[in-house]
Structure 1
Amino acid sequence: MASSSSLPNVPRIKHDVFVSFRGEDIRTSFLSHLHKELHRNQIDFFVDDQKIHPGDEISSTLLQAIEGSFISLVIFSENYASSAWCLNELVKIIECMKQHQRIVIPVFYNVLPSDVRHQNNSFKEAFHKHQHRFKENMMKVQS
């Protein structure tokens, strides 16, 4: 499915699927099964499996992978919103959806869709922490 785009200023498709996830929640369980099934079905996918350290910025490689993926699979899990890295990925994914007509598929892993939508439970706690952490840059949290 990976193909190049003929539209100007639209990043070329390099991957069928980009997978956004919180490693500590799914790396040794759901992600391994997903990886196996995507590979078995010959779906070209990008999974950033490097350990992320607090304060790390999203790398240009990761941003290019998001831009160059036709579909982004966002796996919302209990601690997804606690990671500024995951939320920055999500902002980029939504930008690509709006600007380049990319497809975004949410997966709710051990969380309720309403908790994500209305920022309840662990999502509420995480956003309160981000608001405190980024109080000088509230636009970052709003994004």
Structure 2
Amino acid sequence: LVSHLRTHFNDHGITMFDDQKIERSQTIAPSLTQAIRESRISIVMLSRNYASSSWCLDELLEILKCEEDIGQIVMTIFYGVDPSHVRNQTGDFGKVFKET
């Protein structure tokens, strides 16, 4: 799915920052924080195990700060997870979220 989005965006002149190329550590990399802050739009792809990653949750927190502070547009893709499970923290997503 991400490769399809990247191709589509590139075909339309939209630059996409891919955090998959950044080495994971305890805290999100400064280059990722900078990329988030410089972006006009952030796309968050929520999956079943998203909440089990402190890296992903820290990244989401930074994105939401930018939404609140500078009006960054945030779009959410629900990939293999029911949006109501995310909203209500139920189902597989809620189970993982409560364990972290």
Distance 1:102 1:123 in 2: 25
CA distance in 2, matches of 1:44, 1:32: 13
Change (3 A) 1:120 1:52: farther
> Could you tell me how far apart the structure 1 residues matched to 2:23 and 2:98 are?
21
Q: Tell which structure's C-alpha radius of gyration is larger.
A: 1
Find runs of 4+ consecutive structure 1 residues off by over 3 angstroms: none
The alignment yields a C-alpha RMSD, in angstroms, of 1.4
* Equivalent position amino acid for 2:52 in 1: S
Name the % identity. 40
1:105 corresponds, among 75, 78, 82, to: 75
Match runs of 1:67-78 below 5 Å: 67-78=37-48
Name the structure with the higher helix share: 2
Letter in 2 for 1:31: V
- Cα distance in 2 for residues equivalent to 1:109 and 1:91: 19
TM-score (norm 1): 0.65
Contact 2:41 2:73 in 1 (8 A): yes
TM-score between both structures, scaled by the size of structure 2: 0.91
Residue among 15, 30, 38 paired with 2:9: 38
How big is each residue's C-alpha offset from its partner over 1:87-142, in whole Å with a ceiling of 9 and x where there is no partner? Answer: 11111100000000100001111111101111112222222221xxxxxxxxxxxx
After TM superposition, give the deviation of residue 32 of structure 1 in Å: 1.0
Aligned residue pairs, count: 100
Amino acid across the alignment from 1:50? K
